Amino acid sequence: MTQQDLADCMDVSVSYISKVENGRLHSGDYPSEKFIHKLASELKANEDELLLLADKVPESIRKRIQQRPALFRKLAAMDKQSLDAVESSIDTAN
Protein backbone atom coordinates (compact mmCIF):
# COMPACT_ATOMS: atom_id res chain seq x y z
CA MET A 1 0.00 0.00 0.00
CA THR A 2 1.40 3.38 -0.94
CA GLN A 3 1.18 6.51 1.18
CA GLN A 4 -1.29 7.86 -1.39
CA ASP A 5 -3.48 4.74 -1.06
CA LEU A 6 -3.45 5.03 2.72
CA ALA A 7 -4.14 8.77 2.63
CA ASP A 8 -7.14 8.15 0.39
CA CYS A 9 -8.49 5.46 2.75
CA MET A 10 -7.93 7.66 5.78
CA ASP A 11 -9.26 10.90 4.22
CA VAL A 12 -6.07 12.79 5.01
CA SER A 13 -3.27 14.27 2.94
CA VAL A 14 -0.26 12.31 1.77
CA SER A 15 1.95 14.81 3.60
CA TYR A 16 0.16 13.98 6.88
CA ILE A 17 0.70 10.24 6.33
CA SER A 18 4.36 10.96 5.61
CA LYS A 19 4.70 13.03 8.79
CA VAL A 20 3.07 10.28 10.87
CA GLU A 21 5.29 7.61 9.32
CA ASN A 22 8.48 9.61 9.82
CA GLY A 23 7.66 11.03 13.27
CA ARG A 24 7.69 14.64 12.09
CA LEU A 25 4.46 15.85 13.66
CA HIS A 26 4.04 19.01 15.67
CA SER A 27 2.25 18.80 19.02
CA GLY A 28 -1.15 19.79 17.62
CA ASP A 29 -0.86 17.34 14.74
CA TYR A 30 -0.63 14.08 16.68
CA PRO A 31 -3.11 11.48 15.47
CA SER A 32 -6.30 11.00 17.45
CA GLU A 33 -7.28 7.65 18.92
CA LYS A 34 -10.00 7.44 16.27
CA PHE A 35 -7.37 7.91 13.54
CA ILE A 36 -5.16 5.23 15.11
CA HIS A 37 -8.07 2.77 15.34
CA LYS A 38 -8.81 3.28 11.65
CA LEU A 39 -5.10 3.13 10.75
CA ALA A 40 -4.71 -0.19 12.56
CA SER A 41 -7.70 -1.55 10.69
CA GLU A 42 -6.44 -0.37 7.28
CA LEU A 43 -2.93 -1.72 7.89
CA LYS A 44 -4.10 -4.86 9.72
CA ALA A 45 -1.76 -3.81 12.53
CA ASN A 46 -1.97 -4.30 16.28
CA GLU A 47 -4.09 -1.41 17.54
CA ASP A 48 -2.65 -1.45 21.07
CA GLU A 49 0.91 -1.26 19.74
CA LEU A 50 0.04 1.72 17.53
CA LEU A 51 -1.69 3.47 20.42
CA LEU A 52 1.32 2.94 22.67
CA LEU A 53 3.68 4.21 19.97
CA ALA A 54 1.55 7.38 19.88
CA ASP A 55 1.84 7.70 23.69
CA LYS A 56 -1.83 6.83 24.11
CA VAL A 57 -2.83 4.15 26.60
CA PRO A 58 -5.25 1.61 25.14
CA GLU A 59 -8.63 1.58 26.89
CA SER A 60 -8.28 -2.02 28.12
CA ILE A 61 -4.95 -1.20 29.78
CA ARG A 62 -6.23 2.11 31.17
CA LYS A 63 -9.14 0.30 32.87
CA ARG A 64 -6.80 -2.23 34.49
CA ILE A 65 -4.52 0.53 35.75
CA GLN A 66 -7.53 2.31 37.25
CA GLN A 67 -8.60 -0.92 38.98
CA ARG A 68 -5.14 -1.58 40.48
CA PRO A 69 -3.11 1.67 40.56
CA ALA A 70 -0.88 0.56 43.45
CA LEU A 71 0.10 -2.61 41.57
CA PHE A 72 1.02 -0.65 38.45
CA ARG A 73 3.09 1.81 40.51
CA LYS A 74 5.03 -1.17 41.88
CA LEU A 75 5.54 -2.58 38.39
CA ALA A 76 6.71 0.80 37.12
CA ALA A 77 9.28 1.01 39.92
CA MET A 78 10.80 -2.40 39.17
CA ASP A 79 14.15 -2.77 37.45
CA LYS A 80 14.48 -4.73 34.20
CA GLN A 81 15.58 -7.96 35.89
CA SER A 82 12.58 -7.94 38.23
CA LEU A 83 10.18 -7.20 35.38
CA ASP A 84 11.70 -10.02 33.35
CA ALA A 85 11.12 -12.38 36.29
CA VAL A 86 7.48 -11.29 36.58
CA GLU A 87 6.99 -11.73 32.84
CA SER A 88 8.59 -15.18 32.95
CA SER A 89 6.33 -16.28 35.80
CA ILE A 90 3.27 -15.05 33.91
CA ASP A 91 4.36 -16.86 30.75
CA THR A 92 4.89 -20.06 32.77
CA ALA A 93 1.45 -19.78 34.39
CA ASN A 94 -0.28 -19.51 31.02
Walk along the chain (94 residues) in steps of 10 and give the mean pLDDT of each run: 95 93 82 92 94 89 95 96 95 83
**Nearest Cα residue to 57 out of 82, 76, 81, 29:** 76
Instruction: Enumerate residues 6+ apart whose C-beta is below 8 A from 43.
Output: 1, 6
Q: What CATH number does the domain located at 1-56 have?
A: 1.10.260.40
The predicted structure's pLDDT at residue 55: 84
Would the pTM of this model clear 0.85, i.e. be above it? no
The predicted structure's pLDDT at residue 42: 94
The predicted structure's pLDDT at residue 88: 94
Task: Please provide the DSSP assignment of 21-60 as one string.
Answer: HHT---GGGPPPHHHHHHHHHHHT--HHHHHHHTT---HH
Whether the Cβ atoms of residue 45 and residue 55 lie closer than 8 Å to each other? no
Return the SS3 of 64.
helix
The predicted structure's pLDDT at residue 81: 97
Domain ranges (residues) in the chain: 1-56, 59-94
